[in-house]
């Protein structure tokens, strides 16, 4: 059997693995190789192509790092490679579209709901003034009640999140400004866009996965093994060896692994990783796609993604995927038959007819706490689109898509940090840097830009011992003090100011 030897081996060609490979190619120092069991790069940021394009969940490009921007702009350099959008996002509640974030826009709610929300927000603010600084919330639900009040937590927050720690919050949850919120209620105004993804980019062609195919294309072919020739069957941690499906053995000096760390434990047989991984939790994701014939209706408009906390539909988020790029659905002159109407009826005689077309992408979460019936999830989702008035009963559905993705979201559970303190240093001491969305299991730095930089910084650590800011200091990376957004500048600012980041 052939045996290869490299200084650094990278497992996984998602954003983290490609970030590592890009950095290794750039510094042109140690020998390296990147491997992946999939033929197409992208991992959980890839795109499936059927009649339409569907991403593995709702991905958009916004960045905390100039280095990341430079790399993807090198891969897709033309202005016509991208569309730039202002986020138009809503929460569906009691038949209303409440602008996102929900907690900043209760002015849209019925008056009785406004009164309950404001009363609870006032109570929460008064309690906060009397609370000792050392009295920290024990979990995410308590953080929500303390910041948003019981009513907003009950209406919107709690259906999504429970038993979660506050360490993952970063910039993902907006704490309301009580004065501004009250002014908006009185003046019947809505709050402006909030958050780092208020403006975002999306590739013109090939979906999100097209970005990572292009990034992989900037790497030398002889450094890549994708498909069966890159499928890992076993990792020998003490022996510093990886065994592949085609019989190849790769001996490495250091390993940057982006596979799910619980799976790494399984295929390595490492008892410490296996045991500690029992305290790591995750949800699976079902991605549902629905293609519709007809002009985009006025009720849909320029909406980007929408949240659904109520129980009249199985999905928690819907993305109007056709709004991101006109190339995400068939051209108007493509002739397709009607599969069914939204109400389940057959519709016309099934003869192909031209468009125009538009499409919706739905996400359904599955976990031990929230089981999913795969045999009915597509029909249930279409019914949910009717229930929430996203579709009219007579709308013509011309294509559907359903795929289940294991390990969709890492859960920032109360047990997580304790498990990671056992796993990550243990692997590091054995020359393995486990990084990425599920490699390091940190939801708060799980976006595409974060994931990419986890790989970049892992290489700099492996080669030069540099600080891994994104892994170890997510609050700094996500915070306002990271103004330069360049890897070296951020590290220098961190060093100079000796920031204490908790």
pLDDT above 80 for 164: no
- Per-residue pLDDT, 502: 33
Q: What's the pLDDT score for residue 161?
A: 58
* Average pLDDT value for the chain: 87
pLDDT tens readout for residues 64-74? 899 999 999 99
- Does the pLDDT value for residue 381 go beyond 60? yes
Comparing 53-57, 208-212, 223-227, the range with the smallest average pLDDT is: 53-57
Report how far residue 253's alpha carbon sits from residue 5's, in angstroms, rounded to the nearest whole number.
8
Is the pLDDT at 493 greater than 50, yes or no?
A: no
pTM over 0.75: yes
Percent of the chain with pLDDT over 70: 90
pLDDT of residue 150: 92
Decide yes or no: CATH 3.50.50.60 for domain 3-80+205-280+413-466.
yes
DSSP 8-state assignment for residue 411: E
Q: CATH: 2.160.10.10, 1.10.10.60, 3.90.660.20, 3.40.50.920. Which one for 282-408? A: 3.90.660.20
pLDDT of 36 higher than 60:
yes
- Structure tokens, 338: 């009607």
Question: What is the reported pLDDT for 7?
Answer: 98
Closest of 45, 439, 444, 46 to residue 255, by C-alpha: 439
Mean pLDDT of 271-285: 95
25-35 b/e (C-beta count within 10 Å ≥ 16 → b): eeeeeeebbbb
Check residue 192 and give its pLDDT: 64
Q: Is the pLDDT of residue 169 over 50?
A: no
> What's the whole-number mean pLDDT along residues 286-296?
94
Q: According to the model, what pLDDT value does residue 102 have?
A: 87
> Of 378, 380, 385, nearest to 399 (Cα)?
378
pLDDT at 23 over 90: yes
**Nearest-angstrom CA–CA distance, 176 and 190:** 13
- For 290-347, the three-class secondary structure string (H helix, E strand, C coil) is EEEECCCCCCCCCCCEEECCCCCCCCCEEECHHHCCHHHCCCCCCCECCCEECCCCCC
Helix (H, G, I), strand (E, B) or coil at 93: strand
Cβ 329 vs Cβ 209: under 8 Å? no
- d(CA 240, CA 113) in angstroms, rounded, equals 60
Helix (H, G, I), strand (E, B) or coil at 147: helix
**Choice among 160-164, 167-171, 498-502 with the minimum mean pLDDT:** 498-502
Residue 296: how many other CB atoms lie within 10 Å = 17
Half-sphere exposure in the Cβ direction for 122 (13 Å, CA)? 7
Predicted confidence (pLDDT) at residue 296 exceeds the cutoff of 70 = yes
pLDDT at residue 482, as a whole number: 53
485: confidence class by pLDDT, cuts 50, 70, 90: very low
Domain regions of the chain by residue span:
3-80+205-280+413-466, 102-187, 282-408
């Amino acid at each position: 059997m052939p045996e290869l030897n490299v200084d650094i081996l990278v497992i996984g060609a998602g954003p983290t693995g490609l970030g590592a490979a890009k950095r290794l190619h750039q510094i042109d120092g140690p020998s390296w190789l990147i491997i992946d069991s999939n033929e197409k790069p992208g991992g959980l940021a890839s795109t499936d192509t059927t009649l339409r394009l569907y991403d593995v969940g709702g991905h958009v490009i916004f960045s905390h790092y100039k280095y990341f921007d430079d790399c993807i702009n090198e891969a897709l350099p033309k202005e016509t490679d991208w569309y730039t959008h202002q986020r138009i996002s809503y929460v569906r509640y009691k038949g209303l579209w409440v602008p996102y974030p929900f907690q900043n826009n209760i002015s849209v709610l019925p008056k009785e709901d406004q009164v309950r929300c404001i009363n609870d927000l006032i109570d929460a603010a008064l309690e906060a003034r009397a609370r000792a600084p050392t009295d920290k919330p024990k979990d995410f639900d308590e953080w929500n009640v303390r910041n948003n009040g019981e009513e907003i937590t009950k209406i919107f927050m709690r259906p999504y999140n429970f038993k979660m720690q506050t360490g993952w919050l970063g910039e993902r949850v907006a704490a309301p400004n009580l004065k501004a919120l009250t002014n908006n209620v009185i003046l019947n105004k809505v709050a402006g866009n909030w958050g780092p993804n208020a403006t975002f980019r999306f590739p013109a062609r090939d979906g999100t996965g097209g970005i990572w195919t292009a990034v992989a294309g900037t790497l030398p072919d002889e450094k890549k093994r994708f498909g069966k020739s890159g499928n890992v069957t076993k990792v020998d941690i003490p022996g510093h060896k990886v065994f592949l499906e085609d019989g190849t053995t790769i001996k490495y000096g250091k390993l940057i692994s982006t596979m799910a760390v619980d799976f790494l434990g399984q295929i390595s047989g490492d008892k410490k990783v296996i045991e500690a991984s029992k305290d790591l939790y995750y949800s699976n994701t079902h991605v549902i796609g629905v293609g519709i014939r007809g002009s985009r209706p006025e009720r849909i408009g320029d909406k980007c993604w929408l949240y659904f906390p109520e129980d009249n539909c199985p999905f928690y988020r819907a993305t109007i995927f056709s709004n991101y790029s006109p190339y995400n659905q068939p051209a108007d002159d493509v002739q397709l038959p009607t599969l069914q109407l939204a109400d389940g009826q057959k519709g016309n005689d099934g003869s192909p007819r031209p468009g125009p077309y538009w499409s919706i992408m739905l996400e359904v979460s599955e976990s031990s706490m929230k089981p999913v019936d795969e045999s009915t999830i597509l029909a249930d989702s279409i019914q949910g689109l009717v229930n929430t008035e996203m579709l009219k009963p007579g709308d013509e559905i011309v294509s559907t898509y359903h795929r289940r993705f294991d390990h969709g979201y890492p859960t920032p559970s109360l047990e997580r940090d304790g498990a990671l303190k056992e796993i990550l240093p243990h692997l590091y001491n054995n020359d393995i840097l486990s990084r990425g969305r599920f490699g390091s299991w940190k939801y708060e730095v799980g976006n595409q830009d974060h994931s990419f930089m986890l790989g970049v910084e892992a290489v700099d650590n492996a080669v030069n011992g540099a600080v891994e800011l994104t892994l170890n200091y997510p609050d700094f990376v996500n915070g306002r003090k990271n103004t330069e957004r360049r890897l070296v500048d951020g590290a220098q600012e961190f060093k100079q100011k000796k920031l204490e980041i908790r």
